[in-house]
Amino acid sequence: MKSFYITTPIYYVNDIPHIGHAYTTIACDVMARYKRMKGFDTHFLTGTDEHGQKIQQAAEAKGMTPQELVDKIHVNFRELWKVLNISNDDFIRTTEDRHVRVVQAMFKKLIDQGDIYKGSYEGWYCVPCETYVPESSMGENRTCPDCGRPLTTMKEESYFFRASKYAPQLIEHYEKNLQGVMPRIRYNEIMSFLRGDVRDQSVSRTTLKWGIPIPSDEKHVVYVWFDALINYATAVGYLDDPEMFKRYWPNVRHMVGKDIIRFHCVIWPLMLLALGINVPVSVIAHGWWTVDGEKMSKSKGNVVDPFKMAELYGADAFRYFLLREVPFGNDGDFSELAMVGRVNSDLANDLGNLLNRTLQMIMNYSGGVVPAAKEKDALSEEVRKLSESTVTQLDGVMDTFSYDEALKLIWVFIARANKYIDETSPWKLDKEGQKDKLATVLLTLYEALRLSALLVAPFIPDSAIKIWKQLGLQGSPLTSLIDDFRWGDGAGSHVAKAEVLFPRIDVEEWKKARAASAPKESVAPATEHEPEIDIEGFKSVEMRVAQVIKVEEIPRSKNLYKLDVDLGYEKRVICSGIKRFFKPEELEGRRIVMVTNLKPAKLCGIESNGMILAASVHEEGNEKVSLIVPASDIPLGSRVK
C-alpha cells in the first residue's frame, strides 16, 4: 500500500488559535481524509512548538515554570482540533522526550561529520526582551519591534550549520522536481533565493535558556527553528521506530503559510541532505487571510475566532467556506456575511435540497425503498457518466492541492443532479403510472447522493455522515473507499425520513442580530463634575510621557501592580490599581502618560512616585479601563499640556 504523510507546521504554543491555524490544519485534514478514502496508508501530524525566550518570559510573568505554562496552554490547540473535527494521527510537542532525544542525536551527528561547527554569531539584540531582532522586523532607527527600545549589537559563541555546502545539491533536486515547492510562485521565490547567497545558519544560542541543551556543550541550547523543524522526523520514528520511518518519510509533504517557506524549503531540506535523508516530496504554501478587507490584528478587534465560528455555524460550514472561497495558495478575505451566503446557496440549497427532495420522492413514490432500474435513458446515463468523470478529475485537482477546484467539481455534479429532477419531473411520471421510468429516476438520484456523500466526506465529514444515515446506508462514508463505489449498488436500500442538513440562515435576521450584538459606543454619563479651575490650576499638574519598563505583582494586593517607569531623564516606581484590567505583557514596553508631581504615597508598603493616566467607565456593572497613550512616537519625558 502506498503511504502518504502530511504535516501542519507546529504552532507556536503561546499564540491564541486563529483562522490561520484553523485554515492550515483543515486543509491538511481534508487531504488526509481524502487520501485515506483513496486507499493510502496515511499519517497526519500536527503539534505545538514550545521552546524559546518568549515562552520563558510569559511563564515568569505568570509565576510558572515554562514547562507548567506549555503543559497548560498547548491544550488550546488540542481542543480546537476536536471542535473542527480534525483527524490527526499524532500530536507532537517539542518538549516531549521523544523529540529532545532526536534533536540531540541529529545535532551530534552533524557535529561529528563536520557539518556543524563552532563560530560566533553577531546580531542586533534587545537586552530587556532578551532577543535578536532581524533587520527585516526592526522598528525605526534600529528599535525593538516589541518594546520600542533601541537595539544593541551583540556577539556570542554559536554553532553553525554548513548550509552553504548542500545548496548546489538542493538546487539540482528542485530543478528536477518542480512539485518540490508549490505553488509555482513560491517555487520561483525559493529558487532565486537558493541561487543567491545561502549562508551557514546559526543553530545554537547561549543567551537563550528555554530550549534543548547541546549535550557536549551545556551552555548552548539549540536554536528554536532547528529544534522545531526536526519534529516532522521525530514523529514518524526517526530514532525509535526505523520501520515506521521507512514507511512514511519517503512520502512526506509539509503544508505551511507563505511566511515560513524559507525554513521549510531551504533550511530543512539542507539539513535533511546533510543527514542523508530524502527531502520532502512537496512543501505546499498557502496565502494569508484578511478580515472584511482588513489585516487581522488584536488592536482592531477583528481576529476571527475559529471556536466561535464553529459554534455559530457548525464546523462543516466553516471548513467548507475556508476551502471553497479562495484558490489555494492565494490570499483570501474572510467575511462572515460571505460565509452565510455560501451556507445558504451551496450547502442548504444545492446539497440540502437534493437530499431532501430525493428522500421525499423515494418515500412517496416507492415506499421508502430504492428501486432497481429496469431501463437506461440518455439523461440518467449522462448523470452516471458525469459521476465517473468527476471522480477522475477530482483526483487530478486534489494532487495539486486545488481544494476550491475540487469543491467546484463536486458542486457541478450536485447541480447536474438537481437539474435532472426538473428535467424528468418524477411527480408526472408517478401520476402517469410510468413505473419503470420513475424507478430509473429515483435510483439515479439516490446514487448521485450516495456518491456525493463520499466526495464531500473529506471536506464536511459530519454532514457526510448525516447524509449516509438518511440514505439508510451501513458503516460510514469516512471509512469507505471512493474507488469501491459501483453505480447501482444502492438499489434495495431503505431510506430514512428526510431531515434538514443545513438550515437556511435568514440574512436580514442575521444582520439584525449582528447589529444588536456589536459593541456599542456608549457615552459615559457626566454626572459628577469637579469644581471649575483656572489655567494656572491645570498647569500645576505636571504630566509627562513615560515608558513602562517592568510590571510586578504585589503579592498582598488584588488591584495593584508595581510599575517601573522610565521618564527618559529618570526612572520611577509607581503603584497603580490596574491589575484587574491588564496583563503585565500588555503594559511592559508601552508608552503612557503620567502625573509626575503627585506627592509620594505608600501603598502596600511600596512608595509610589506618580500616577499613570487611564480612562474608566462603568458599564452594566463592569468597570472598563483604557490607558491614555501618546498617539505617535514622542521622546520620553515630553510634557503633556
List residues binding Zn ion (CB under 5 A).
126, 129, 144, 146-147
Q: Which three cell numbers stand for residue 247?
A: 514507511
CA distance 5 to 252: 5
SS (H, E, C) 450-504: HHHHHHHCCCCHHHHHHHHHHCCCCCCHHHCCHHHCCCCCCCCCECCCCCCCCCC
CA distance 261 to 496: 49
Residues near 311 by beta carbon (within 8 Å), at least 6 away in sequence: none
Judged by CB, which is closer to Zn ion: 126, or 343? 126
DSSP tag of 249: G
Backbone phi and psi for residue 317, each to the nearest 5 degrees, phi listed first: -65, -40
Judged by CB, which is closer to Zn ion: 73, or 133? 133
Tracing cell 515608558 back to the chain, one arrives at: 547
Among residues 614, 623, 575, 569, the alpha carbon closest in space to that of 593 is found at 614
Judged by CB, which is closer to Zn ion: 145, or 341? 145
Among residues 352, 416, 336, 418, the alpha carbon closest in space to that of 384 is found at 416
- For the bound state, the minimum distance from the C-beta of residue 197 to Zn ion, rounded and expressed in Å, comes to 29
CA distance 83 to 310: 7
Judged by CB, which is closer to Zn ion: 153, or 540? 153
- For the bound state, the minimum distance from the C-beta of residue 70 to Zn ion, rounded and expressed in Å, comes to 22
Among residues 404, 406, 410, the alpha carbon closest in space to that of 387 is found at 410
- For the bound state, the minimum distance from the C-beta of residue 50 to Zn ion, rounded and expressed in Å, comes to 22
Judged by CB, which is closer to Zn ion: 251, or 547? 547
- For the bound state, the minimum distance from the C-beta of residue 570 to Zn ion, rounded and expressed in Å, comes to 21
- For the bound state, the minimum distance from the C-beta of residue 613 to Zn ion, rounded and expressed in Å, comes to 24
Q: Where are the alpha helices (DSSP H) in 258-377?
A: 261-262, 268-275, 306-313, 315-325, 336-342, 353-366
- For the bound state, the minimum distance from the C-beta of residue 225 to Zn ion, rounded and expressed in Å, comes to 20
Judged by CB, which is closer to Zn ion: 147, or 397? 147
Q: Which three cell numbers stand for residue 271?
A: 539539513
Beta bridge partners of 612: 594
CA distance 596 to 425: 83
- For the bound state, the minimum distance from the C-beta of residue 568 to Zn ion, rounded and expressed in Å, comes to 17
Judged by CB, which is closer to Zn ion: 57, or 463? 57
- For the bound state, the minimum distance from the C-beta of residue 129 to Zn ion, rounded and expressed in Å, comes to 3
Judged by CB, which is closer to Zn ion: 147, or 549? 147
Judged by CB, which is closer to Zn ion: 129, or 592? 129
Judged by CB, which is closer to Zn ion: 153, or 479? 153
- For the bound state, the minimum distance from the C-beta of residue 333 to Zn ion, rounded and expressed in Å, comes to 32
The answer to whether 600 and 619 are in contact (CB under 8 A) is: no
- For the bound state, the minimum distance from the C-beta of residue 133 to Zn ion, rounded and expressed in Å, comes to 8
- For the bound state, the minimum distance from the C-beta of residue 543 to Zn ion, rounded and expressed in Å, comes to 25
CA distance 305 to 48: 19
Judged by CB, which is closer to Zn ion: 144, or 235? 144
The sign of the CA dihedral 108, 109, 113, 114 is: negative
Q: Which three cell numbers stand for residue 523?
A: 457615552
Judged by CB, which is closer to Zn ion: 143, or 353? 143
Among residues 338, 316, 254, 339, the alpha carbon closest in space to that of 459 is found at 316
Name the strand (E) or helix (H) holding 261.
helix 261-262
CA distance 82 to 73: 15
- For the bound state, the minimum distance from the C-beta of residue 14 to Zn ion, rounded and expressed in Å, comes to 16
CA angle (288 as vertex; 283, 294 as ends), nearest 5: 175
Q: Count Cβ neighbours within 10 Å for each residue of 541-571 and write b for 16 or more, e otherwise.
A: eebbbbbbbbbeebeebeebbbbebbbeeee
